[in-house]
Amino acid sequence: MGAEQIETKWIGKRIVRPDGVDKVTGRANFGADLRLPGMLEAKILRSPHAHARIKSIDTSKAEALPGVLSVVTAKDFPEVSGMADAGEAQVNFADLSRNVMAREKALYDGHAVAAVAATSASIATEALSLIEVEYEVLPHVIDVEEAMKPDAPLLHDDLFTKNVDPKPDKPSNVAQRLEFGAGDIDKGFGEADVIVERTFRTAATHQGYIEPHAAVAEWTEDGQSRIWCSSQGQFAVRDMTTTLLGIDHANLKVTPAEIGGGFGGKTTIYLEPVALLLSRKTGRPVRAVMSREEVFRGSGPTSGSVVRTKIGMRNSGEITAAELGLKYEAGAFPGSPAMAGCMTAFACYDIENAKVVGYDVVSNRAKCAAYRAPGAPMTAFAVESVLDELAEKIGVDPIDLRLKNAAKEGTRALYGAKFKQIGFEETLKAAKDHPHYSAPLGPNQGRAIACGFWFNIGGESTANVNVNMDGTVTVVSPNPDIGGSRASMVLMAAEVLGINPDRIRITIGDTASIGYSGLTGGSRVTFAVGMAVVDASKQVVTQLCERAAQIWEVDVEGVEWRDGAAHPASSNVGDFDPLSLEKIAAQSAKLGGTITGAAAINARGAGPGFATHICDVEVDKGTGRVDVVRYTAIQDAGRAIHPGYVEGQMQGGVAQGVGWALNEEYIFDDKGRLENPGFLDYRMPVTSDLPMIDTQIIEVPNPFHPYGVRGVGEVPIVPPLAAVASAVSQVVGKRMDQLPLSPPRVLDAIDG
């Protein structure tokens, strides 16, 4: 325990990424790259209506088209019900099934209603136009507050708001009410010298992964099935697909392809069960690939939100009370990240009196999916913006204000848990000392800071470490590598084994080749799977010492492992030359067989992550255009196993957060149809839109990880919304409380 006490040789080194060559040469295989003999192409027919009852579907003309081998609709899916565990999350399978293929109603523009498998993509596309769907178009609702109104069009007749007293006797679009609190907020606001209360709005934004969803499925005659797809977890794909289709886990092997980004959006399934059903009906492998338009219309963004917050403060800067109410869009089925929004809202601060109320609301939009620190950026936008305003009102430096109220070891978060060692104050102090914070600003430029928190999680994780006869080592990881986990696993294995990382190769196992592991999500893989790799590597070291003891004919207690070789633990053991890993491996057959370690753990002790960001913007007062001209992200990583990847995560989170702040939003027409389902009209930042994002890694080790690791992938998207908006507010002289900060909106603020 106490990673700060551990000296390391390889941890912290910037080794070349194991997947680098395959990716830069185009050799890496992504979800759409696999081609099998006899493979068919699938296309999905999607609803053109935001809300419509499906009265009938006639597929006969499509099925008669030469080259079409099969068509599936919801009738081909078994009826499933209830909640069940799928990976680390509980999934409502009735909703998941209806999201994969609309059953009674189409609930959003782009909702899948049928699928075709044909000998070519063009024939499949032509067949879609021959499917006759009779719709009864229903009134729709897109906006979260409109959806909450008593007379709003109702998506589900059986949805009754949970956690309200008395229990409602009428259905509504409000799926759930949540509430957390501590202390006495009335008393707290009574003690405040200054109070700021504002309502903030954010648009739904898509994760924007470069690689669209894609899957190849093959159902064989003996009931064994295979899927190849890009996802954030082959085990989750297996468990969700088998549950939807009523087949045994062991009868489906899912092989993870390389993944071109996920950011939470690939923690669920869309195409996989559809392709598998089509394969079962045709007896041939089937490939399904979404277009970019389908990704936007049919797969989950994060929630749009309305967040009202009120914070009271003494003139000294001490927060006396805080209150927040949030309304999150869930999309067509319940399950927005409202809970996480409530829990993270004030987690950066030690506040005695606080209350948070949240609502999870359905509307006629694609079902939301996880997106980097799901739920946290929206509440941070509200809270950090109000803190910025309060700092201005009482004339205190915004970093000093946050330091005065910062959560630290021993602080109890609103959701109950007490923090152990955390590095929030360290990020604030580093920001204050950073040259960026005191650099002069140019004309029409503004600067702001904002902070963020994310829990990070652990969970079920596995790893295999195999020693080859030539002394090289193969590590098998159970998790798709999205953010550099392969390099981090290699570094941790090298550290334990005491060998050069270039002697270690790593591969990602399929669901039949390695034990179950949770999703690549929750900023958990380097932390949790890393612990499994360390565990498996230690098993290997134990076996290496046992083999050395056999060779030297001494007790194993007389052998110690260091610098990649067995050494006598003391001179009393005998005078033996060190036995390297290579030498022991070469004799493994004689000494009991292959040396291998296999770990299966449920990792505990995930360390919370905190970040502080500094943002400079320049506003063109003639056009309303905002440019981020300088940005510095400071974050506690616990221990950066591969600093280059940690910096990459920080920069990526900032880039996505800046897009959320400045440009990204869904635009619907009056019929509820998405008007901007493409990157030309849905504007994400590209390299030329951003400055070089500076990073500073803080290392306050997580005491529960052997090397001190905290998750790093999610925190960096939390602060940018508020950092950008507060910086713009300074230039335009008005608090910017609605995102995105598009030029017309900024011009409106400038013009008053």
Partner 1 sequence: MARVVLSSDVAEKFTDRLREFDLEADNMRALMRAIDTRYEGLAPFLEEHMFVVIDGEMIQDQFLEPLEPNSEVCFMPKLKGG
Residues that bind partner 1 (CB under 8 A): 88-90, 163, 178-182, 207, 263-265, 267, 339-340, 343, 370-374, 412, 414-420, 454-460, 519, 521-524, 602, 604-606, 704, 711, 713-714
Q: Quote the longest CA-to-CA distance of the chain.
A: 88
Beta bridge partners, 618, equal 445, 627
Residue 740: asked if its preceding bond is cis (omega within 30°), the reply is yes
Exposed / middle / buried, residue 672 (Cβ in 10 Å: 0-12, 13-18, 19+): buried
Please, which residue, 391 or 712, has the CB nearer to partner 1? Answer: 712
Say if CB 463 and CB 451 are below 8 A apart. Answer: no
- Shortest distance, position 460 Cβ to partner 1, whole Å: 8
- Shortest distance, position 490 Cβ to partner 1, whole Å: 23
- Shortest distance, position 57 Cβ to partner 1, whole Å: 33
- Shortest distance, position 524 Cβ to partner 1, whole Å: 7
Kindly give the residue spans of alpha helices, DSSP state H, lying in 623-689.
Answer: 643-662
* Distance (Å, whole) CA 270 – CA 282: 20
- Shortest distance, position 503 Cβ to partner 1, whole Å: 33
Please, which residue, 520 or 729, has the CB nearer to partner 1? Answer: 520
- Shortest distance, position 93 Cβ to partner 1, whole Å: 16
Please, which residue, 105 or 372, has the CB nearer to partner 1? Answer: 372
| 3-class state of residue 55 by DSSP | strand
- Shortest distance, position 123 Cβ to partner 1, whole Å: 37
R_g of the chain, CA atoms, integer Å? 27
- Shortest distance, position 522 Cβ to partner 1, whole Å: 3
Say if CB 308 and CB 145 are below 8 A apart. Answer: no
Please, which residue, 342 or 727, has the CB nearer to partner 1? Answer: 342
Please, which residue, 321 or 579, has the CB nearer to partner 1? Answer: 321
Say if CB 42 and CB 274 are below 8 A apart. Answer: yes
Please, which residue, 110 or 518, has the CB nearer to partner 1? Answer: 518
Please, which residue, 46 or 206, has the CB nearer to partner 1? Answer: 206
CB within 8 Å of 180: residues ≥ 6 apart: 342, 343, 354, 355, 356, 414, 415
Please, which residue, 455 or 552, has the CB nearer to partner 1? Answer: 455
Neighbour tally for 311: CB within 10 Å: 29
- Shortest distance, position 263 Cβ to partner 1, whole Å: 6
Please, which residue, 22 or 186, has the CB nearer to partner 1? Answer: 186
- Shortest distance, position 482 Cβ to partner 1, whole Å: 10
Neighbour tally for 625: CB within 10 Å: 15
DSSP letter, residue 279: H
* Distance (Å, whole) CA 257 – CA 30: 5
Please, which residue, 180 or 645, has the CB nearer to partner 1? Answer: 180
DSSP letter, residue 418: B
| Tokens representing residue 306 in the block | 């309305």
Q: Which of 102, 109, 105 is nearest to 77 (CA)?
A: 102
Neighbour tally for 605: CB within 10 Å: 14
Please, which residue, 449 or 532, has the CB nearer to partner 1? Answer: 532
Say if CB 113 and CB 73 are below 8 A apart. Answer: yes
Our CA angle for 291, 294, 299, nearest 5°, is 125
Please, which residue, 365 or 524, has the CB nearer to partner 1? Answer: 524
Phi, psi of 49 (to 5 degrees): -110, 145
- Shortest distance, position 409 Cβ to partner 1, whole Å: 9
Please, which residue, 501 or 518, has the CB nearer to partner 1? Answer: 518
Say if CB 339 and CB 379 are below 8 A apart. Answer: no
Using DSSP bridges, classify how beta strands 194-202 and 305-313 pair: parallel, antiparallel or unpaired. antiparallel
* Distance (Å, whole) CA 192 – CA 172: 38
- Shortest distance, position 14 Cβ to partner 1, whole Å: 25
Say if CB 640 and CB 12 are below 8 A apart. Answer: yes
* Distance (Å, whole) CA 187 – CA 388: 23
- Shortest distance, position 279 Cβ to partner 1, whole Å: 29
- Shortest distance, position 386 Cβ to partner 1, whole Å: 22
* Distance (Å, whole) CA 143 – CA 163: 22
Please, which residue, 381 or 454, has the CB nearer to partner 1? Answer: 454
Using DSSP bridges, classify how beta strands 445-454 and 354-362 pair: parallel, antiparallel or unpaired. unpaired
